[in-house]
Amino acid sequence: MFSSCFNDKGNYSYSVINDIEIGEEGFSEPYTVRTDVDKLNIEPVIISTTDPNLNENYTYEWVAVSTLKSPSTRYTLSTDRILNYDVKLPADEYDLFFKVTDTNTGLVFSNDVSLTVNGSYTRGWMIVGNDDAGKLVLDMMSISRDTLHLKNILKAGITHLDPTFVWVDNSLDSYDEYIYVCTKHHTYRYDREGLDTAEELQIFDPDSKGYRNNIVTSDIQRVKEKRSMFLCDGYAYVNTTLNEGEFGSPNNYYLTDAGYEYFSIGGKIACNRTGEITSAAAIDQYVLYNTSGKKFCYLRPLAKNMYDLLDKDSEEPYSWDTTKDFAPNGLEYVTTINSLFSSGQSATILRNLSNGKYYIYTYAITRQGGVVTKGGRYEVSTAATGFGESTLFSMTTRQGYLIYAVDNTLYGYDFRRNNHPVVLATFPDEEITAINNDIISEQQMEDNFYIATYKKGAEEGRGGSVRKYSVADTPEQINITEELVWKGFPRVVSLCYKQF
């Protein structure tokens, strides 16, 4: 049997720990600022349980941590209690932390708030045009905070003639670092933040079996984080390491027993953007028109070569192979329009050279590889004034009406019901030079489109205007309302939305 005694001789001396609370004032609402323009001023409210006058020893730190472009990258903005910071951060999304360290105890207390830093070129409409000499001019309507008209924003000092369009990647998950400037003679890509460095695009040419410059690009598409497709000099390229590098061998070929069978394609890409909005799983499938064989084809997800779209049965509204419906020569390609109408319907306009008639083929690309849902084939009415002369088309979101322009007149066309086109607007002494169907910006589901007009004789050749229209169409009629007008542009040829 065991027993023991314990004599407590401890020396108990307790002290109150200084507890610090950082108030919500200055941290309750997110901040949006512009780099090199705005100043960030925050005076935090600090409450101490034992040191109300904050006479003890403390250190302070303001730290911005990237949450989007460079995740976890830290920037120390200040070591003062009150933040007075001339914003110099790279354009990005951040968490802004304020930390207070009690040096007597080593305890750290903090509060944080969301911070969005925009550059001058972070968000807005990029508007590309040409001056009287045909030189490219790139302006921007920046909406990073206030709406600002920024002129001549390309800074690399390169002269570009005969511009066609500008493209920028708006995929937040894995975006392309460049802005692509496309002309009738070449394609350049500029850094997307400063637009002050540029390099000419090179692609692999299967004819010369080598890389070359002077690339003429007719279309670029990317759906969310999926692969980009470029149409260059009659070839289709997918920007991926799966095909020999960044721009390796083109993809518009059939794989046969004899090898690669290349074919010519139309100048626009059909894709479905509804997956960007309604689901995390974007639709990674592209449809093109084989102008050699006069039939529709597609690129499967992850595939290197293309396949023909196949008909299911004879009861369908049309055949994917137009030589079957219009033997023996099929239909010639005109253009393709993408929209958000009816689950992301696309429309391809084709022409019968034997009689001059135009046809509109509608279809929707699905997630299932090789499956595209047919809509209808519509013969364009002979009452569609100027349809064959137009190169400017758009499609409304709610009713799927076709918008097109000829000279100074804007038309709306309910081709599905074979109604005659109606005049939506006319612009005396001006020319309509561009149409943009807004299916990219944050307002993409609001059924808006933009048009550009040009009036000769303006000072410095800046007689261009951009108008935004909202659409309130019904099954019975097309109604549009002018929402805004921006002026002072060159002759505009294309608009492109830059989301970040």
Predicted pLDDT at 93: 92
Residue of higher predicted confidence among 273 and 355: 355
Tokens of 421: 């086109």
Is 99 a residue whose pLDDT tops 60?
Answer: yes
Tokens of 183: 């002309």
The two beta strands, 108-118 and 31-34, are parallel
Q: What separation in angstroms does the CA of 220 have from each of 228, 268, 374, 443?
A: 7, 8, 24, 21
Q: How confident is the model at residue 276 (pLDDT cuts 50, 70, 90)?
A: low
Is 244 a residue whose pLDDT tops 50?
Answer: no
Residue of higher predicted confidence among 374 and 247: 374
Q: How far apart are CA 301 and CA 394, in angstroms?
A: 27
Confirm if 211 and 201 have CB atoms less than 8 A apart.
no
State mean pLDDT over 64-93: 93
Predicted pLDDT at 81: 93
Predicted pLDDT at 345: 94
Question: Among 180-194, 232-246, 440-454, where is mean pLDDT lowest?
Answer: 232-246
User: In order of start, what are the domains of the chain with their CATH numbers?
Assistant: 20-118 (2.60.40.60)
Question: Among 41-55, 100-114, 242-256, 480-494, where is mean pLDDT lowest?
Answer: 242-256
Residue of higher predicted confidence among 373 and 207: 373
Tokens of 155: 């800074």
Predicted pLDDT at 243: 42
State mean pLDDT over 52-73: 88
Q: How confident is the model at residue 91 (pLDDT cuts 50, 70, 90)?
A: confident
Confirm if 269 and 231 have CB atoms less than 8 A apart.
yes
Q: How confident is the model at residue 245 (pLDDT cuts 50, 70, 90)?
A: very low
Confirm if 203 and 239 have CB atoms less than 8 A apart.
no
Is 147 a residue whose pLDDT tops 90?
Answer: no
Predicted pLDDT at 4: 47
Residue of higher predicted confidence among 86 and 53: 86
Predicted pLDDT at 10: 53
Is 320 a residue whose pLDDT tops 70?
Answer: yes
State mean pLDDT over 50-65: 88
Percent of the chain with pLDDT over 70: 93
Predicted pLDDT at 421: 94
Segment 155-202, tens digit of pLDDT: 889 999 999 999 998 877 667 788 999 999 999 999 988 888 999 998
Residue 482: CB partners within 8 Å, gap ≥ 6?
Answer: 425, 467, 468, 469
Is 480 a residue whose pLDDT tops 90?
Answer: yes
Predicted pLDDT at 280: 54
Burial of 308 (0-12, 13-18, 19+ CB in 10 A): middle
Q: What is the CA radius of gyration of the chain?
A: 29
Q: How far apart are CA 78 and CA 83, in angstroms?
A: 7
161: DSSP letter: B
Segment 334-366, tens digit of pLDDT: 999 999 998 899 999 999 999 999 999 999 998
327: DSSP letter: T
Q: How many residues does the chain have?
A: 500
Question: Among 87-101, 219-233, 342-356, 456-470, where is mean pLDDT lowest?
Answer: 219-233
Q: How confident is the model at residue 332 (pLDDT cuts 50, 70, 90)?
A: very high
Predicted pLDDT at 442: 83
- Nearest alpha-carbon partner for 287 in 374, 224, 210: 374
Question: Among 90-94, 310-314, 317-321, 372-376, where is mean pLDDT lowest?
Answer: 310-314
